[in-house]
Amino acid sequence: MAPITTAITNIGSLVTNDPSLPGTGPLGVIQDAAVVIDGDRIAWVGPTSKAPATDNAVDAEGRAALPGFVDSHSHLVFAGDRTEEFNARMSGRSYSAGGIRTTVAATRAATDAELEANLRRHLDEALRQGTTTLETKSGYGLSVHDEARALRIAAAHTDEVTYLGAHVVAPEFADDPDGYVALVTGEMLDACAPHARWVDVFCERGAFDGDQARTVLEAGLAKGLRARVHANQLGHGPGVRLAVELGAASADHCTHLTDADVDALASGDTVATLLPGAEFSTRAPWPDARRLLDAGVTVALSTDCNPGSSFTSSVPFCVALAVRDMGMTPDEAVWAATAGGAAALRRTDIGRVTPGARADLVLLDAPSHVHLAYRPGVPLVSAVWRRGVREV
């Protein structure tokens, strides 16, 4: 039986992310556009007046459409709540109740069913806001058993799964960090690699130094995983340059960068993934996206959704923050949240609306994608197609 075809017509403004279309700019914007979906793929894109006949038709009534958001950095396999920590931070009080380790204790105590229910809830929440591809990590188990089950649970719901045993040193190894690195690169890696596509490490003061991070990443690469790095969030450090040296797909956070860091990113193909939800939730300095873009660095925008430092699943919110506080134009922010996220995951089948791409599409209750920044906080997503199926 042939797949059912669907035409979405009368799209007021369609972001394709195909700059080869003449006269459409970097986002490949087509006015009065139509998209034909055939099965789980985009079959045709062009003006509504030339749309071919299909089995079904959806009238967009002048609304804007764009590719589904690609959230390339999140931490969704967890249990517990850190409201008290956030409240203390926003009230100007110091807080030292354990941070990540608080979530580790709650996650270890949770059942598989509880972890999966929480993951599904946040995935559904993200989907309603237009996210059609989402990467998520382990990192709140920090034991062989708990890291492996986190990845197993995540892998049942997304293809983009990252092993982050090197999030922080497990409490049992507080006095033996090198012993924990040996566990992360040995028995834990053996148990986790079959469930993951990526290996990650938090290369930061208070987590893992450059030598430890290199050891973790090289062990993951030797197991066939690809690399991504939490880099330069809290201060200057070796994370960004290590990511570029090892060919990591993405260096994430990139809040504190030297000229040498920016030059390294500009000379390689490692994407700088910016996570403004973290700066919003911690009152830290904003990453300078303008500096990176002007240097020719590929930039992605993601939520960093996690229970401690960025508890948002809303890519539109992050787009608005990037435009308001990080020096990005609305066009640049939308590209970073779609095609940029795809680049950070080394994917060419998502983040664009072109023939052959996966049929992931977001329809906005607005005439232009610019409204994502122009109307911050407003629930503009009116429909979402993922793999050709209307989900919202």
Q: What is the pLDDT of residue 98?
A: 55
Buried b / exposed e across 87-119, counting CB within 10 Å, b at 16+?
A: eebeeeeeeeeeebbbbbebbeebeeeebbebb
* Structure tokens belonging to residue 184: 């992360």
23 has pLDDT over 80: no
Question: Averaged over 131-139, what is the pLDDT?
Answer: 98
- 212-245 confidence digits (pLDDT tens): 999 999 999 999 999 999 999 999 999 999 999 9
Question: Quick one: pLDDT band at residue 97, thresholds 50, 70, 90?
Answer: very low
* Structure tokens belonging to residue 54: 């299909």
340 has pLDDT over 60: yes
359 has pLDDT over 90: yes
| Cα dihedral 110, 114, 120, 122 sign | negative
* Structure tokens belonging to residue 378: 């407003």
Q: What's the mean per-residue pLDDT of the chain?
A: 96
Phi, psi of 245 (to 5 degrees): -60, -40
How far is it, in rounded angstroms, from Cα 303 to Cα 72? 8
* Structure tokens belonging to residue 318: 């992050």
Question: Quick one: pLDDT band at residue 2, thresholds 50, 70, 90?
Answer: confident
Question: Quick one: pLDDT band at residue 145, thresholds 50, 70, 90?
Answer: very high
* Structure tokens belonging to residue 243: 């990511």
pTM of the predicted model, to two decimals?
Answer: 0.96
Question: Averaged over 94-108, what is the pLDDT?
Answer: 78
